[in-house]
Amino acid sequence: MEGILTINNVWMMICTALVFFMHMGFALLEIGLTRQKNTINILFKNLFIITVGLLLYCLLGFNLMYPGEFNGYFGFAGFGLDSPLVGGSLDLAYSEGYTYWTDFLFQGMFAATAATIVSGAVAERIKLNSFMIFVILYVGIVYPIAGSWKWGGGFLDEMGFYDFAGSTLVHSVGGWAALVAIYLLGARIGKFKDGKIGVFPGHSMPFATAGVLILWLGWFGFNGGSVLSADPELTSLTLVTTCLAAAAGGVASFIFSSILYKNYDITMFLNGILGGLVGITAGADQMSPTDAILIGAIAGVIIVMGVAFIDKLKLDDPVGAVAVHLICGIWGTLAVGIFGNMAGIDQFITQLIGVGAYAAFCIVTSFIIFYILKVTLGLRVSAKEETEGLDIHEHGMDAYPDFGLNQK
């Protein structure tokens, strides 16, 4: 028994490391798709999210998300971590798949991801101080309360809502906040001018591509670890469906975008891969390979239409975070009711209720946080700071000083 626990726990620690590595992927993707003059600012935000996120999850979030017996809506088991002990040693009966400490660390990596999604959407014009306050409140309080409703055994879990690895609980929770943020922030200077949509090319497609490939690799831990053990059948199936959905999402996205826009857009290819990954995340353990390909392909098409729709609404999302994480997160969650083991009208309605519950909670809480910040500290940097770049004004340095570049 202890040998099986050791094997399971080692797998879960490997998955934890892979999810941690995803933060490198997010950082490279975000700086690659944005302008050089804001590189340090984006890297700083990503470092802040993972460091402060882990500390908050230790002090507050873990026991908010997993409070034990509670009313299904809100519970709190106390500040800090308090491992279960038997005879003065760690209780190895805590779970068959991992120890208490591994459980905390794996879940802590997920918590930080929700805020990272927002980071990309608000890139190039948000005040750093305001963003950091948002991260503290959203990761420390909002995300764990939302997570408790399903993963903590709350009312949505009792209702039968299913989200295997977080299409809604992680990606849509971040996506709703990103949508609210870009609405309150407004577009970057020159993005929407004289009825036309301005194009701000990212400064490094190699970085963006490397970021997506790292994220794909990290998803082996994100979805594979959500089996919560090294179960050979479920783990293998989950990794297969995850990869097939990613591949289908990328192919469908670049084909559909090339038909519409008459060019092979690598950014659509990249976001299509991510859309496929987000789409399969809610039901990766339930889908057949064919189901996974269909879910990923539909997500790839949704990405192209979603990016165009966000632009039509005159909302500025530099990295396509809303289309990838919110819209494809909703699709993946609903897909469980269409393709999953419990597929049917009842399950679909339950999935829809879950999507609605998280939408209401995340929109309201993120709006309150961002609006208070907007009327107090302010959300947006000055026009001068935005034009000259946040790296110089917020950090006093250039990401590439030796190259003498000054991209505006």
Provide the pLDDT for residue 74.
96
**pLDDT < 50 stretches in the chain:** 407-408
Task: Domain count for the chain, please give it.
Answer: 1
User: Domain for residue 40, yes or no?
Assistant: yes
Residue reference for tokens 């908010």: 64
Which of 243, 235, 234 has its CA nearest to residue 216? 243
Given CA atoms 257, 271, 121, 183 in this order, what sign does their dihedral have?
A: positive
Provide the pLDDT for residue 199.
86
Which of 232, 223, 278, 162 has its CA nearest to residue 19? 223
Counting Cβ atoms within 10 Å, is residue 43 exposed (0-12), middle (13-18) or buried (19+)?
middle
User: Domain for residue 341, yes or no?
Assistant: yes
User: Domain for residue 170, yes or no?
Assistant: yes
Helix axes 205-224, 2-33, angle to 10 degrees: 160
Cβ–Cβ under 8 Å, residues 278 and 165: no
User: Domain for residue 189, yes or no?
Assistant: yes
Dist CA 75 CA 149 (whole Å): 10
Nearby residues of 201 by Cβ (< 8 Å), 6 or more positions away: none
Provide the pLDDT for residue 404.
53
Cβ–Cβ under 8 Å, residues 183 and 14: no
Provide the pLDDT for residue 92.
79
Dist CA 357 CA 355 (whole Å): 6
Which of 304, 392, 370 has its CA nearest to residue 122? 370
Range of the domain at 62: 2-403
Nearby residues of 194 by Cβ (< 8 Å), 6 or more positions away: none
Dist CA 366 CA 201 (whole Å): 29
Provide the pLDDT for residue 408.
47
Residue 16: CATH number of its domain: 1.10.3430.10
∠ CA 299-302-306, nearest 5°, is: 135
Provide the pLDDT for residue 268.
96
User: Domain for residue 253, yes or no?
Assistant: yes
Provide the pLDDT for residue 394.
93
Cβ–Cβ under 8 Å, residues 18 and 221: yes
Query: HSE on the CB side for 144, CA within 13 Å?
Result: 28
| Structure tokens, 381 | 């940097």
User: Domain for residue 408, yes or no?
Assistant: no
pTM: 0.94
Dist CA 371 CA 308 (whole Å): 26
Provide the pLDDT for residue 403.
63
HEC sequence for the chain:
CHHHHHHHHHHHHHHHHHHHHHHHHHHHHHHHHCCHHHHHHHHHHHHHHHHHHHHHHHHHHHHHHCCCCCCCCCCCCCCCCCCCEECCEECCCCCCCCCHHHHHHHHHHHHHHHHHHHHHHCCCCECHHHHHHHHHHHHHHHHHHHHHCCCCCCHHHHHCCCCCCCHHHHHHHHHHHHHHHHHHHCCCCCCEECCEECCCCCCCHHHHHHHHHHHHHHHHHHHHHHHCCCCHHHHHHHHHHHHHHHHHHHHHHHHHHHHHHCCCCHHHHHHHHHHHHHHHHCCCCCCCHHHHHHHHHHHHHHHHHHHHHHHHCCCCCCCCHHHHHHHHHHHHHHHHHHHCCCCCHHHHHHHHHHHHHHHHHHHHHHHHHHHHHHHCCCCECCHHHHHHCHHHHHHCCCCCHHHCCCCC
Cβ–Cβ under 8 Å, residues 174 and 325: yes
Dist CA 275 CA 325 (whole Å): 7
Dist CA 338 CA 16 (whole Å): 30
Dist CA 144 CA 63 (whole Å): 8
User: Domain for residue 269, yes or no?
Assistant: yes
Query: HSE on the CB side for 266, CA within 13 Å?
Result: 13
Given CA atoms 80, 86, 91, 96 in this order, what sign does their dihedral have?
A: negative
